[in-house]
Structures are given as C-alpha cells and as structure tokens.
Amino acid sequence: MDIRLDDKVAIVTGAASGIGLACAEMIAECGAKVALVDKNAETLPGATKRVQAKGMAKGYLQDVTVIPALNPLVSRIRKELGEIDILVCSAGINIPQLAQEVTEADWDALHEVNAKGLFFCNQAVAIQSMIPRKKGSIINIGSQMSLVGGWKRANYCASKGAVAQLTKAEAVDWAQYNIRINVVAPTFVSTPLSKGMLEDPVFKNYIMDNILLRRLATLEEVAAAVCYLASDQASIITGVTLPVDGGWTAK
C-alpha cells in the first residue's frame, strides 16, 4: 500500500528531534507540506533542512505550553502553507521518578506539555481549520504508558493516559465534523529523550523483559503508523490508541 499525502498540509509539534522529526520527514516524503513546530532554536533549523530534503517544509519556533501563542501560530501557518489537514502532536517530556518522588512542580511540568499543550494545539487547529471545512486528521503521540503502569512512570503514565482519554473525547465531539483523532502509542525508542534511560543497564533489562519482540521500536516504525492514520486509507478509524510496542501491552 502506497501512502500518499499529496496536496495536504501538516503541522508536527516537537518536530526538531526524535519521533516528531521522523514523522515530519516521512509526512513530507509522502507529499504533504509540513510545518515543523518546536521550542528549540538550536535544533529547529537543521531539522527543517532535513525535512526540506524530503519535500516542502517550514520551521516555526514555538513552545506549545505558551497557550495564548497557539492561535496566532495556527493562523500564521494557514496563511503561509494553507489550511491544515493533518496535526501530529509529538511535543512531550519525561522525568523518570518513583511515585513518592514526584513534586508539584514535576507534575505541572509534565502535564503542561504532554496534556495541556497537546489539547490546546488540537483545539486551535480544529477550530480554525478543520471544523469549518469538516475534514482533518489529528494524531496525538501517546505511549504504551497510556495503557499500562510503569516503573518510575507514575507522573508520565498520568499525562499519557490523559492523552488517550482526551483523544477519545475529542473523537466523540468532532466526529460530526468528519475530524478523526487517534493516538500512536510507542514503546521505548532510541531518541535524545530516552538516551540516558537506555544507558542504565538495569532499566534496559527491564524494558527488554517487557517487550515481547525483544527490541526497541524504530523511529521509522512509529512514523509509518502516524502516516497511515493521517491518510485516507484510515478514513474509518477514529478514537483509537494504536500501540506500536512490540507486544508490551499484550501481556
């Protein structure tokens, strides 16, 4: 099956590295124009060049936790690239901690990005570009931890569980506008965010003991799932959390 996203416009948040960058590259390769949104001024230009090597792309420096800036950002992208057909919310952070170690500041930091910023990005794009045109596909990057508990993941599980539940509720609210909203829920992937964790042999063994296929997911595997859900081939799928997890959640 050849997935094509020709003549579509996509926004990808957290697009300067990791899963977000892989999604932006593959979406551009499938023919869409891509707006890369990230708060990292150092890595965004290089990421944008990488995606431009695959297709049409433009970088936008923005922190998704600055909620009042999101509507103006979406307006600017609409003016510069066109109406938005695809939104991929990949911006996210993690603070590995046991439940008893989580402070109020830690809680707020994770939920500010992983849940609040994601929701208001969804809302801004839906209100401005998808609801009026009665079309669109939103893919929120969750985690296998949207579905299960995990060691040193109480706060992270809560934030990614919120992503899964928000997505279901949005799917219900926005189905009347033909807007599809789904979650891609990866297992551990080797990214800048996870590098330090994966260097801990105890934690690495814990991961491998829980992934049935005994390996990490690749960035390309996660991006392929995103592109499928963004495409017309997935036009009947909404409100779903799709594990890309090597069988972690099957147990």
User: What would the two tokens of residue 171 be?
Assistant: 């799917």
Q: How far apart are alpha carbons 58 and 12 in whole angstroms?
A: 11
Q: Are 93 and 115 in contact (CB under 8 A)?
A: no
Q: How far apart are alpha carbons 225 and 175 in whole angstroms?
A: 21
Question: For residue 182, what are the β-bridge partners?
Answer: 139
Q: How far apart are alpha carbons 2 and 242 in whole angstroms?
A: 20
User: What would the two tokens of residue 226 be?
Assistant: 């995103």
Point out the catalytic residue in the list 60, 156, 177, 228: 156
5-18 b/e with 16+ CB inside 10 Å = b? beebbbbbbbbbbb
Question: How many Å is the Cα radius of gyration of the chain?
Answer: 17
User: What would the two tokens of residue 69 be?
Assistant: 């800036």
Q: Are 183 and 189 in contact (CB under 8 A)?
A: no
Q: Does residue 156 carry a catalytic annotation? A: yes
Active site residues: 156
